[in-house]
A and B are shown apart, each in its own frame.
Chain A
Amino acid sequence: MSSVARFTEGSEGGQRILRFEGDLTLSKLGVLPTRLERLRGTGFVLDLAGVERMDTIGAWLIHRTVRERGGQVVGAAPGPALLLRRMEEVDQPVKVRPDPPSPFVRVLDQLGAATSEAGRTLVGLLAFFGAMLVSTGRVIREPRRFRLNAVVQRFEVVGVHAFAIIGLMSFLVGIVIAQQGAVQLRQFGAEVFTVNLIGRSSIKELGVLMTAIMVAGRSGSSFAAQLGSMKLAEEVDAMRTIGVSPMEALVLPRVFATVMMMPLLGFYAAVVAIIGGAVFCWVGLDIPPVTFVQRIREVVPITDLYQLLIKAPFFGLIIAMAGCFQGMQVEGSAEEVGLRTTTAVVQGIFLVIVLDAFFAVFFTELGWL
Chain B
Amino acid sequence: MNEEQPIISVRGLKNCFGDQVIHDDLDLDVRRGEIIGVVGGSGTGKSVLMRSIIGLQQPDAGDVHVFGQAMLTADEKCLQSVRKRWGIMFQGAALFSTLTVAENVQVPLREFYPRLSEKLLNEIAAFKIVMVGLPANAGPKYPAELSGGMKKRAGIARALALDPELLFLDEPTAGLDPIGAAAFDELTVELRDQLGLTVFIITHDLDTLYTICDRVAVLADRKVVAVGTIPELLALDHEWIQEYFRGPRGRAAEEAVEAAEAEAGAPTDAQSGNGKA
Are A94 and B126 in contact (CB-based, < 8 A)?
yes
Which among A53-61, A69-77, A355-363 touches the partner chain? Answer: A53-61
Say whether B127 contacts A91, CB under 8 Å.
yes
Instruction: Closest A residue to B125 by CB, please name it.
Output: A96
Whole-angstrom distance from the CB of A98 to the nearest CB of chain B?
A: 4
* A95 in contact with B102 (CB, 8 Å): yes
* Chain A contacts for B100, CB-based, 8 A: 96-98
Known A55-B195, A56-B163: A97·B102 in contact at CB below 8 Å: yes
- In the assembly, what is the distance between CA of A99 and CA of B137, in Å? 12
Which of these, B103, B130, B140, contacts A90 with CB under 8 Å?
Answer: B130
The answer, among A57, A61, A92, for a CB contact under 8 Å with B126, is A92
Say if the beta carbon of B179 comes within 8 Å of chain A.
no
- Which residues of chain A have C-beta atoms less than 8 A from B140's C-beta? 95-99
Q: Which single residue of chain B is at the shortest CB-CB distance from A334? A: B97
Interface assignment of A34: CB less than 8 Å from any CB of chain B: yes
Tell whether A27 is near chain B: CB-to-CB under 8 Å: yes
In the complex, which residue of chain A has the Cβ closest to the Cβ of B134? Answer: A94
Q: How many contacting A-B pairs (Cβ < 8 A)?
A: 81
Q: Are B136 and A55 in contact (CB under 8 A)?
A: no
Interface size class of A (residues with CB under 8 A): 20 to 34
The answer on a CB contact under 8 Å between B124 and A96 is no
Indicate whether A90 sits within 8 Å of B131 (C-beta atoms), given known contacts A25-B163, A27-B84, A57-B124.
yes
Binary contact readout A326-344 vs B (1 if CB under 8 angstroms, 0 otherwise): 0000001101000000000
Given contacts A34-B117, A56-B131, A95-B102, A86 and B163 within 8 Å (CB-CB)? no
- Are A87 and B117 in contact (CB-based, < 8 A)? no
Is A83 in contact with chain B by the CB < 8 A criterion?
yes
Interface centre among B123, B124, B125, B137 (most CB of A within 10 A): B123
Residues of B within 8 A of A (CB): 84, 97, 100, 102-103, 106, 113, 116-117, 119-120, 122-131, 136-141, 144, 160, 162-163, 194-196
Beyond known contacts A26-B162, A83-B194, A96-B106: 9 more, CB 8 A cutoff: A34-B117, A64-B123, A79-B196, A92-B130, A93-B136, A94-B137, A96-B139, A97-B100, A98-B141
Top 7 A-B residue pairs of the complex, sorted by shortest distance between their CB atoms: A94-B126, A94-B139, A55-B163, A96-B102, A90-B130, A95-B140, A98-B140
